[in-house]
Amino acid sequence: MTNDLIEKADRVMAATYSRFPILLTHGDGCTLYDANGRTYTDFVAGIAVCNLGHAHPGIAQAIADQARRLVHVSNLYYTGPQTSLAEWLVEHSFAGRVFFCNSGAEANEAAIKLSRKYFKDRGSPERFRIITMEGSFHGRTMATLSATGQAKIQKGFEPLVDGFEIVPFNDLEAVRDAITGETCAVMLEPIQGEGGVRCHAPGYLKGLRELCDQEGLLLIFDEVQTGMGRTGRLFAYEHFSMTPDIMTLAKALANGLPMGAMLAKEEVAASFTPGSHASTFGGTPLVAAAALRVVKVLVEEGVLRNCERVGRYFRDRLLDLKSKHAFIREVRGKGLLLGLDLACDGTSIVKACMERGFLINCTRDHILRFIPPLIIREAQIDSLIACLDSVFEEMAADNSSFA
């Protein structure tokens, strides 16, 4: 069955993914099962999506209950779940208003459009350029890949959309030097996820806030990966004693159902008026009901506290590995967004861990990224650390260049 389905998928689906040869059938918490009955402890969580794990009973119930009542009617009408979710997000963030969509790329598109519209409404149509960072990842639509600071994402899709200035990561003076009379905003991730789990230097984000205030620019935080509890706070900006003007969310917002959101301060959001932007499926009753259950579980059932506590434990165990294996250059991240920077290719390590029953991720070829469900426990982390230690020992023994 597994091989037949894999062959069929490879025949009929666009070849945009290099998939691992396993057929996953169901999950429970932090555990996934394949068609052959093998189990895997999940440290990928659907790429930082399933923050509450798989088959969460409360979310499943919320989806089932809402599916029996109302799935979709479009945004021509009001619905209760969408309104309740928007109210919750506003009450728990800096924002005054929310726009719902279906993905992180769409949320970032909305942020880009809103930034331009905000300045046009204020009589400055020449201000349309947005400064972004090398190593960033903002999506794969034409505008968001143009904003992304990775050449490999952009390759083959030139000419790119005009309006983006990409500057070196973690360099406040480079941002200052890039500002012109055409600049409208600065957009960045509080922690670069796809870019290698790279954190900004102390004071950098606060310095950006001050710079944007001085120059009259909007500050946009892409929290598609860092938001919804991933760093131990509901939103990563809460770690830095400052707020952006616009924030984008997606991934974990509905724990696996496709949902994105753009949040903005009231005066900025006012530039979105009827007809200026839209989404047919944005914030349907079904996904909004699921997301409303997600956010309540995050803050009411101790998930954020678990992420913060277990994240510290996980980081300490990764540091133990670093002290033992010289090819580990750095341990990065915050909460349960963690990475190991290796002086070697990490793709074979991902495969070796999968064969031992652990799903992990590698980005930029040499960064092992760990983004498990926020309900992960210390015992599961201990098991992964033992697995990694064993894999590292075996690979070092087999390849002297690895050590």
Q: Give 168-210 pLDDT, tens digit per residue.
A: 999 999 999 999 999 999 999 999 999 999 999 999 999 999 9
Look-up: residue for tokens 């969580």? 45
pLDDT, tens digit, for every residue of 264-279? 999 999 999 999 999 9
**Mean per-residue pLDDT over the chain, rounded:** 96
CA–CA gap between residue 312 and residue 262 (Å, rounded): 30
Q: Is residue 233 part of a domain?
A: yes
Number of domains into which the chain is organized: 1
Q: Is residue 145 part of a domain?
A: yes
Domain span at residue 202? 57-300
Q: Is residue 402 part of a domain?
A: no
We report the CATH number of the domain holding residue 128 as 3.40.640.10
Q: Are 342 and 399 in contact (CB under 8 A)?
A: no
| Residues acting as catalytic residues | 137, 222, 251
Look-up: residue for tokens 């003007």? 245
CA–CA gap between residue 205 and residue 235 (Å, rounded): 14
Best CA proximity match to 248, nearest among 362, 141, 167: 141
CA–CA gap between residue 280 and residue 287 (Å, rounded): 13
Structure tokens at 202: 């102390």
Mean pLDDT of 324-329: 95
Amino acid at the residue 123: G
Q: Is residue 318 part of a domain?
A: no
Mean pLDDT of 250-257: 98
Name the pairing type of β-strands 129-133 and 183-188: parallel
Q: Is residue 313 part of a domain?
A: no
CA–CA gap between residue 113 and residue 248 (Å, rounded): 13
Mean pLDDT of 303-330: 97
Q: What is the pLDDT of residue 401?
A: 45
Is pTM beyond 0.85? Reply is yes
Whether residue 339 is predicted with pLDDT greater than 80 in this model: the reply is yes
SS3 203: coil
SS3 99: strand
The DSSP secondary-structure symbol of 236 reads G
Q: What is the pLDDT of residue 375?
A: 98
Taking the alpha carbons of 302, 45, 382, 33 in that order, is the dihedral positive or negative?
Answer: positive
Best CA proximity match to 259, nearest among 292, 226, 220, 297: 292
Whether residue 1 is predicted with pLDDT greater than 90 in this model: the reply is no
CA–CA gap between residue 293 and residue 66 (Å, rounded): 12
Q: Is residue 242 part of a domain?
A: yes
Is residue 298 very low, low, confident or very high in pLDDT (cuts 50, 70, 90)? Answer: very high
Best CA proximity match to 198, nearest among 143, 133, 147: 133
DSSP 376-403: --HHHHHHHHHHHHHHHHHHHHH-TTT-
Question: Chain-centre distance of CA 57, in angstroms?
Answer: 24
